Amino acid sequence: MGTTGEGPSFSLEERTQVFKAAAEARQSLPDLRLLAGTGTPSLEETISTTKAAFNLGFDGVVVLPPYYFRKATDEGLLAWFSQVLQRAVPQGGALLGYHIPPVSGVALSLDFLASLKDAYPDRFIGIKDSSGDPVYAQAFGERFGTNLLSLTGNDRLFTLALEAGAVGCITAMANVLSPLLRQVWDAFQSGDLDQITQAKLSNARGVLDRYPPMPPLLKMLLSHLHGFPIWRVKPPLVNLKEELVDTVLSEFSAAIG
């Protein structure tokens, strides 16, 4: 229920249905870790959605800031996230902030993150960083080290993020190119930088960035590359136009070579 999953387009009831399906899938995949996207502009709805995820046994939630009020201060964001953590995240549960200012319009400053970590050291564990900003990724690593987790949301920056201390990724292309992302991660754990695979990821991400918005594009790729049904997107998004399908597939295949 993040960006690719069109989370903001789903009602609480619809999100809960998706959470239930994921929880059922874990019965045959016991090592699967589940994170739910639960952030909305409404504090009460975010709390209800977050509770629903934890009640179904999810390991954590990834929470957008209240993105309607783009001029909210760090003080206001701290009060908002504090309510979510106090009222919806149980002991043993984990909350990650979702830093995606190009979409949300609300940045999570390093000072704000430090204040939230100080107040909730056991339940606030880090961020998903989809800013696409290498300076922010590096500054985050320098400021927090291993005290806060960072999961990059930008395939182009995966290697850079790992060098800056990120522990992994949650990216759009993980839906279709997870083996390549794993190659970069495995190489880094062995002390190497797999620049060839990283270049393929960067080139492929360039294709996706040329044909926004990304959700209909990824659903098309999942169908053509991995045999999934052709899922329709929810308004205001529209499915990828048929005349673009062959072009995108050709460019994507060339990118990963």
Question: Among the options 38, 98, 136, 159, which is catalytic?
Answer: 98
Is 128 assigned a catalytic role?
Answer: yes
**Which residue among the candidates 128, 197, 200, 219 is catalytic per the annotation?**
128
- Residue 243: partners with Cβ closer than 8 Å, 6 or more residues away: none
Tokens of 64: 């957008």
Contact status, residue 218 vs residue 175, Cβ threshold 8 Å: yes
The dihedrals phi and psi of 12, each to the nearest 5 degrees, come to: -60, -40
Q: Is 3 a catalytic residue?
A: yes
Instruction: Select from 64, 121, 49 the least CA-distant residue to 96.
Output: 64
* 68 classed as catalytic: yes
Indicate which residue of 68, 73, 234, 247 is catalytic: 68
Alpha carbons 3 and 190: distance in angstroms, whole number: 31
3-state helix/strand/coil string of the chain = CCCCCCHHHCCHHHHHHHHHHHHHHCCCCCCCCCEEECCCCCHHHHHHHHHHHHHCCCCEEEECCCCCCCCCCHHHHHHHHHHHHHHHCCCCCEEEEEECHHHHCCCCCHHHHHHHHHHCCCCEEEEEECCCCHHHHHHHHHHHCCCCEEEECCHHHHHHHHHCCCCEECCCCHHHHHHHHHHHHHHHHCCCCCHHHHHHHHHHHHHHHHCCCHHHHHHHHHHHHHCCCCCCCCCCCCCCCHHHHHHHHHHHHHHHC
User: Which amino acids are annotated catalytic?
Assistant: 3, 68, 98, 128
